[in-house]
């Protein structure tokens, strides 16, 4: 069942096969946390919130997929009219949680997606390590590694297997 979480997600975004890991193996840096906001620098706070909202792209089969990034570091994935993650998944008949971690202090910016689901007494988790850049206020390029040990440090628009351009439609 844990592989189905990862493969549904990876298939939607068109990334190569991902390797799941247990919750214990998710490093401390991958735990979702709120973005630190400086009360003295309002421009930094605004810039560090520009990822919030609904971002859309097209899956390999041509359907629209949505990634909704919320202020509480949770996310929702929608494929067409089906909520696939971040809520109860009717196909898998279980709650799938999606969190994210974004770090604006890194260059390029890190955007990791953390998938988790519970079956019986075991919690499965997977971290998709990514980098993101804002092409415009409403377009981002996200490149994510399917290798749980590494992260890309540069962008390569020709790498269609690992790279997605998403357009902001709300937020």
| Residue that the structure tokens 């971690």 belong to | 101
> What distance lies between CA 149 and its chain's CA centroid?
16
Which parts of 64-162 are beta strand (E)?
Answer: 64-69, 75-79, 82-85, 88-89, 94-103, 109-119, 122-136, 139-145
pLDDT along the chain (171 residues), means of 10: 44 44 41 37 62 91 89 88 67 76 95 81 81 96 87 92 93 80
- Whether the full predicted model's pTM is greater than 0.75, yes or no, is no
Contacts of 110 (CB under 8 A, 6+ apart): 101, 102, 103, 129, 130, 131, 132, 151
**Total tally of structural domains belonging to the chain:** 1
Domain interval for residue 80: 2-170
Q: What are the pLDDT digits (tens) for 87-113?
A: 666 666 667 788 999 999 999 999 999
C-alpha gyration radius of the chain: 15
* CATH number for 91: 2.40.128.640
Burial letters for 38-75: b for 16+ Cβ neighbours within 10 Å, e otherwise? Answer: eeeeeeeeeebbebbbbbebeeeeeeebbbbbbeebeb
Q: pLDDT at position 165, please?
A: 93
User: CA-to-CA distance for 108 and 111, rounded, in angstroms?
Assistant: 9
Which token pair is 1?
């069942």
Can you tell me the distance from the alpha carbon of 151 to that of 131, in angstroms, rounded to the nearest whole number? 8
């Amino acid at each position: 069942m844990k592989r189905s979480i990862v493969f549904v997600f990876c298939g939607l975004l068109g990334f190569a096969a991902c390797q799941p890991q247990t919750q214990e193996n998710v490093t401390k840096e991958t735990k979702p946390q709120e973005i630190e906001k400086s009360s003295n620098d309002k421009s930094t706070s605004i810039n560090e919130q520009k990822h919030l909202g609904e971002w859309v792209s097209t899956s390999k089969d041509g359907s629209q997929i949505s990634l909704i990034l919320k202020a509480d570091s949770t996310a929702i994935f929608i494929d067409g009219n089906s909520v696939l993650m971040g809520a109860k998944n009717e196909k898998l008949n279980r709650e799938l949680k999606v969190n994210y971690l974004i770090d604006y202090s890194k260059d390029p910016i890190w955007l990791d997606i953390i998938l988790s689901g519970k079956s019986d007494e075991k919690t499965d988790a997977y971290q998709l390590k990514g980098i993101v850049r804002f092409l415009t206020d409403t377009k981002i390029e996200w490149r994510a590694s399917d290798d749980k040990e590494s992260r890309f440090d540069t962008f390569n628009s020709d790498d269609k297997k690992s790279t997605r351009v998403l357009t902001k439609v709300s937020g």
